[in-house]
């Protein structure tokens, strides 16, 4: 029996897609890299995912897990072919009010989870810009962040447990509601592993109370540097706001052209700041932020008038990537991170790189935690432009690393940044990660050729070749 026949038998004809158009639709995520799936399947629960894994291993066929396909590093692109496992049908939500937690299916949309929790006075804190489309399984796979993760932390801070299908089709539950479970943190191992160790089918997530009061502010600045300096001074003043988001002029103009929200398009940069808590506290913190902004030359300081105005401001920020469609058919971005104290010099270098390559670059980023999102709008069908865009991207990442940063803040590594791993990890670091992958996924079917560059093992598989290591190091 072929693996296609086996899949049809396990999942039913309706949940197995094979038509060329269907395969094309699922051949890439939101990145620029396209693969080619052999088949796309829609399991309905962990048991069916387990059957898919068993079939894939028996036939030595790769598996790529996929949620909504909003990832930006080709993590869900089937570049090695094989089976694309779409988890969107696993969409149950079981709220536990006593423990302020919920068991959530991997296919649940991030925003839908908070909407389900809101009547109980709760919400799920991580809020990626793709919040209205991205799924919890994808959030877990990439340890996604979002504007409000400055104070609350990224996805890993809000995952208490996981249901995961591992090699051999074994279904395990890791973690739980206990505040400090004994043993190794295997749950933490899976969060951020980008589908290379197994397939998450459910997550036990922490739900937080809704904030009693909120102030959302929009500050306009004459320079990007003055806005970035304000961000550093806000943190230095001892505050950790709920969010500190920065957009430069080109990005503001693109968003305003689409949203028509009255954004200050003449400003070189705008800072979207939000503070939450009790009324007295948020009023005091909002005033401090306003004073710091004015001291750095802010030309206007606007406080959201009501919830509708606040929602409009956030819609502008979270729709920034989509607004790029007005400028060009494609965009390319990185999400490298730098210390807040290096924001000003890093941004100056980013603009210099864009000018040198003659590229249309727009910037929007989580300024509070130094997570940059330099975005190039371009036409990928032009080979010369495509080359320049990727070369400029490599230079931007190199600058961020030179300034004490990291490869990724929330988008993951995937393929886009896989071959940059050696710029930040030693050979021994990579070997340890590769050994872990080999131990958990001995047949190598889970999302192959992602995250780790070729040759990461100090011994190639089968012990054929040994790399040079420092004297005394055993491998």
Tell me what pLDDT residue 7 has: 98
Enumerate residues 6+ apart whose C-beta is below 8 A from 348.
Answer: 225
Cα four-point dihedral sign 370, 418, 420, 192: positive
Q: Measure the CA–CA gap between 327 and 344, rounded to whole angstroms.
A: 26
The span from the CA of 253 to the CA of 256, in Å, is 5
Assign 378 to helix, strand or coil.
Answer: strand
CATH of domain 213-321: 3.30.70.2190
How many angstroms separate the CA atoms of 254 and 322, rounded? 9
Cα dist from 269 to 218, 230, 246, 281, 317, whole Å: 10, 12, 7, 27, 13
Cα–Cα dist 220/293, whole Å = 9
Give just the sign of the alpha carbon dihedral 405, 406, 410, 413.
Answer: positive
CA–CA separation, 397 vs 338, rounded Å? Answer: 10
From the list 83, 120, 119, 116, the residue with the least C-alpha distance to 100 is: 120
Give the sign of the dihedral formed by CA 413, CA 419, CA 422, CA 428.
Answer: positive
C-alpha 134/C-alpha 70 separation (Å) is 6
Question: How do the domains of the chain map onto residue ranges?
Answer: 3-86, 93-209, 213-321, 327-402
Residue 340 phi, psi dihedral angles, 5° rounding: -55, -35
| pLDDT tens column, 415-458 | 999 999 999 999 999 999 999 999 999 999 999 999 999 999 87
Q: Given this chain, do its domains 213-321 and 327-402 carry the same CATH topology?
A: yes
Question: Taking every pair of C-alpha atoms in the chain, what is the biggest distance, in angstroms?
Answer: 72
3-class state of residue 268 by DSSP:
coil
For the entire predicted model, the pTM comes to 0.92
CATH topology assigned to domain 327-402: Alpha-Beta Plaits (3.30.70)
pLDDT in tens, 152-202: 999 999 999 999 999 999 999 999 998 777 888 999 999 999 999 999 999
Architecture of the domain whose range is 3-86: 2-Layer Sandwich (3.30)
pLDDT of 447: 98
Q: What CATH code is assigned to 93-209?
A: 3.30.465.10
Q: How far apart are CA 60 and CA 44, in angstroms?
A: 23
For residue 453, give the DSSP letter: P
Instruction: Lay out the sheet containing 159-165: strands in order across.
Output: 93-96, 101-105, 199-206, 159-165, 171-175
Residues of the chain with pLDDT under 50: 460-475
Q: Which residues of 111-143 are buried (b: 16+ CB within 10 A; e: fewer)?
A: bbbbebbeeeebbbbbbbbbbbbbbbbbbbbbb
Cross-strand partners of 129: none
pLDDT for the residue numbered 68:
97
Q: How far apart are the C-alpha atoms of 399 and 391, rounded to whole Å?
A: 13
Burial (0-12, 13-18, 19+ Cβ within 10 Å), 68: buried
Q: Which token pair is 298?
A: 């802010």
Burial state string for 179-200 with b = 16 or more CB within 10 A and e = fewer than 16:
eeeeeeeebebbbbbbbbbbbb
Query: Angle at which helices 307-318 and 249-259 pack, to 10 degrees?
Result: 120
Supply φ then ψ for residue 203, to 5 degrees: -135, 135
């Amino acid at each position: 029996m072929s693996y296609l026949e086996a899949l049809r038998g396990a999942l039913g004809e309706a949940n197995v897609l094979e038509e060329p158009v269907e395969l094309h639709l699922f051949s890439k995520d939101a990145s620029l890299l396209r693969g080619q799936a052999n088949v796309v399947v829609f399991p309905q629960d962990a048991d069916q995912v387990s059957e898919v894994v068993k079939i894939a291993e028996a036939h030595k066929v790769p598996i790529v897990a996929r949620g909504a396909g909003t990832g930006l590093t080709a993590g869900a692109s089937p570049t090695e072919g094989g089976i694309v496992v779409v988890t969107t049908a696993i969409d149950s939500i079981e709220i536990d009010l006593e423990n302020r937690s919920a068991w959530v299916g991997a296919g649940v949309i991030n925003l839908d989870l908070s909407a389900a929790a809101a009547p109980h006075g709760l919400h799920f804190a991580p809020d990626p810009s793709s919040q209205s489309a991205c799924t919890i399984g994808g959030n877990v796979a990439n340890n996604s962040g979002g504007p409000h993760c400055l104070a609350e932390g990224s996805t890993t801070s809000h995952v208490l447990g996981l249901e995961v299908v591992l090699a051999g089709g074994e279904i395990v539950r890791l973690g739980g509601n206990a505040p400090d479970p004994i043993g190794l943190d295997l749950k933490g191992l899976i969060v951020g592993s980008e589908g290379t160790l197994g397939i998450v089918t459910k997550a036990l997530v922490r739900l937080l109370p809704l904030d009693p009061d909120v102030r959302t502010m929009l500050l306009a600045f004459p320079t990007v540097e003055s806005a970035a300096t304000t961000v550093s001074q806000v943190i230095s003043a001892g505050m950790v706001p709920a969010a500190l988001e920065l957009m430069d002029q080109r990005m503001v103009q693109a968003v305003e052209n689409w949203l028509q929200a009255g954004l200050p398009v003449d400003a070189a940069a705008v800072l979207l700041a939000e503070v939450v808590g009790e009324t007295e506290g948020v009023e005091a913190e909002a005033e401090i932020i306003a004073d710091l902004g004015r001291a750095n030359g802010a030309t206007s300081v606007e406080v959201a008038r009501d919830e509708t105005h606040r929602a409009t401001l956030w819609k502008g920020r979270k729709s920034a990537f989509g607004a790029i469609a007005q400028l060009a058919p494609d965009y390319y971005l990185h999400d490298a991170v730098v210390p807040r104290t290096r924001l000003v010099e890093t941004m100056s270098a980013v603009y210099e790189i864009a000018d040198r390559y003659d590229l249309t670059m727009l910037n929007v980023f989580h300024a509070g935690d130094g997570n940059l999102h330099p975005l190039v709008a371009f036409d990928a069908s032009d080979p010369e432009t495509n080359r320049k865009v990727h070369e400029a991207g490599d230079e931007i990442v190199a600058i961020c690393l030179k300034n004490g940063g990291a490869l990724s803040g929330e988008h993951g590594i995937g393929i886009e940044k896989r071959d940059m791993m050696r710029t930040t990890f030693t050979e021994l670091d990579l070997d340890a990660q590769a050994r872990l992958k080999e131990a958990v996924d001995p047949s190598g079917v889970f999302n192959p050729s992602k995250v780790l560059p070729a040759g990461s093992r100090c011994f190639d598989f089968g012990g054929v070749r040994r790399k040079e290591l420092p004297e005394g190091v055993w491998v």
